[in-house]
Structure 1
């Protein structure tokens, strides 16, 4: 900034140089002389000049920051498109990598890249080991379906819809997992004298999806029912696994033995599909024999390797080393140790588990009394809709319950439903006493 002050009634010049040019000169004419100016007047003039200089600088700065009102150039649009492309690509790669790392060992990707770049037998062997790890860990995702139908982990239909007495129960397992369960009890004066069934469902959904079936079982067979969601299913905590499901089922049986309002000598374990494999394991253990009055198995399989060979049409699956099979459920090796009366319910039209597997389990079963009921039109999940299904179960519970247990006549359905006669029919029965 330049200042030129000519005292004695001469001009005062103020201005600034910006980019080599002199801008906005201000001329002031002073009518006073140097001799008549006081110190106060001089100070006021200097302050006024400084404030004007600051205002000029602010004006230039704001002018430099004024946005360009012209539309974006072609180069600018191209930059934005390229940036958006890389953002999408980054998001997709992140999603793929996250899913990859969830399913395999932490070094699988680096090993594959290392082998692709440099090769080497050691890297190849490590890569194969990592791929085996992927295969091993992915087995859970093709066996357990707790979220099918969608939102099955978030929503369990309320039991109030059935219109029968019930209570919500939380069962704590030895490894501190809290399981969600519902206990359907007969009327207070009858509940202590009737059988109680522990119902173990299949590998998908939650107990709410079985309420219609349980309603008919309750009404037609006159029993109490404890329906349990495994760990990782419905509102239960944890993650499903073979050992975990065994612990859950045993905890459910022990829970009933802790209650004084039911007949502890008339507890029957009922397993359907995957639940059947869990029930076989529980019933085959010596320390559980005195806890169970009977066992019911419906449309269950011999082992997971056998099921793998059927579902994927690959015979070599059943001959794979067991160390590569995460979930085995070898019912065929355990069923011979069962020492409680057992009822087999087999749907001859089962589209998932071959009925010959049920026949194989029946032949090998070591129960002192065992029974096979075949339903020609029974499918994997809908055998319970076949004629005669509930009458067979009721006859079985009447046979195995110890003296003192009261087997009720079928109670009227709390809500309109089929009568007992609708469920009675000719059933192909096979009975064997050992």
Structure 2
């Protein structure tokens, strides 16, 4: 029956887990913060918020003021101070009341496209900052990213509902703060980041969508033989991807040990707007970026295919 054993079905239907519990168990591994936001004194006074803190490494405080990024050694930043200075950080607020840490990197100031990047489950903005600079420089795009609730300086607890509220807040901030229109925004989700990416893309049209090592749903990760989407399933990408009206590039490693390659293939087959995918032979869950075809496919997709559509 849908690939589940009798004992598993009895467990699910007699004591069905709520989606938030499925999500918490399989998806969220927030690291110890690898960065802090320090007051930008040159830009004027910062309102410290109710905790009275003058920095935001802790998760209290408000969203007002101007901030500078301070990275800890754990962030393993690979670039120079000039690159760090070109990185703008700020705070916004989600519809669920959580503070959301945001980062905007002008990798290519004259670039047409900005990538709204939703990262994986065990990293934060500090750890991703070097990758963002390198990626944006190589694909000629600016990069905008954010931390999920409970990650980095973002408040609240990680949950499926908060994921959707967090990316909504990031989308609105990117559009209102920088005046970037949807036709110039590429939504990029990696691993768990494909969940908010697919949800947002199913509701808003944008330049394109990139799904990197995506999952079909939480139940299908926990029980690989699951064929049906249950009412208590978490992260139902497989039910939303058909609603996306923008071009979708799916990238997956054939030897992914965390989210099986079959997830990427299933989403590709379900998505009417899918373009030629990138199946990286021999790649796992966390090393696709090390293969030359990764950047080659991104450059062709963004620099040629999208550019031709928007010419």
Measured against the shorter chain, the TM-score band is: 0.7 to 0.9
SS at match of 2:168: helix
Report the counterpart of residue 259 of structure 1 in structure 2.
177
Report the counterpart of residue 97 of structure 1 in structure 2.
none
Q: Distance in 2 between matches of 1:137 and 1:280?
A: 18
* Preserved CA contact (<8 Å) 2:107 2:133: no
Of 318, 322, 332, the match for 2:231: 322
Unaligned 5+ segments in structure 2 are 1-10, 36-56, 59-69
C-alpha spacing 1:296/1:321, structure 2 compared with 1 (3 Å) = closer
Flag the structure with more relative contact order, 1 or 2, with Cα contacts below 8 A and sequence separation at least 6. 2
C-alpha spacing 1:205/1:363, structure 2 compared with 1 (3 Å) = same
**Shift of residue 166, structure 1, vs aligned partner:** 1.1
Of 185, 188, 203, the match for 2:106: 185
Q: With structure 2 as the length reference, what TM-score do the two structures score?
A: 0.73
- Establish whether residue 278 from structure 1 lines up as the match of residue 171 from structure 2: no
Q: Distance in 1 between matches of 2:309 and 2:185?
A: 13
Of 152, 155, 162, the match for 1:234: 152
Of 226, 231, 240, the match for 1:334: 240
The structure with the largest helix share of the pair is 1
**Shift of residue 134, structure 1, vs aligned partner:** 8.3
C-alpha spacing 1:138/1:363, structure 2 compared with 1 (3 Å) = closer
- Establish whether residue 294 from structure 1 lines up as the match of residue 212 from structure 2: no
Q: How many residues align?
A: 259
* Preserved CA contact (<8 Å) 1:305 1:318: no
Of 199, 216, 220, the match for 2:117: 199
Of 229, 251, 268, the match for 2:186: 268
Report the counterpart of residue 164 of structure 2 in structure 1.
246
Q: With structure 1 as the length reference, what TM-score do the two structures score?
A: 0.54
Unaligned 5+ segments in structure 1 are 1-127, 406-434
Which has the greater radius of gyration? Answer: 1
Q: Distance in 2 between matches of 1:239 and 1:144?
A: 12
C-alpha spacing 1:264/1:135, structure 2 compared with 1 (3 Å) = closer
C-alpha spacing 1:320/1:219, structure 2 compared with 1 (3 Å) = closer
Of 257, 280, 286, the match for 1:381: 286
Q: Distance in 2 between matches of 1:140 and 1:265?
A: 31
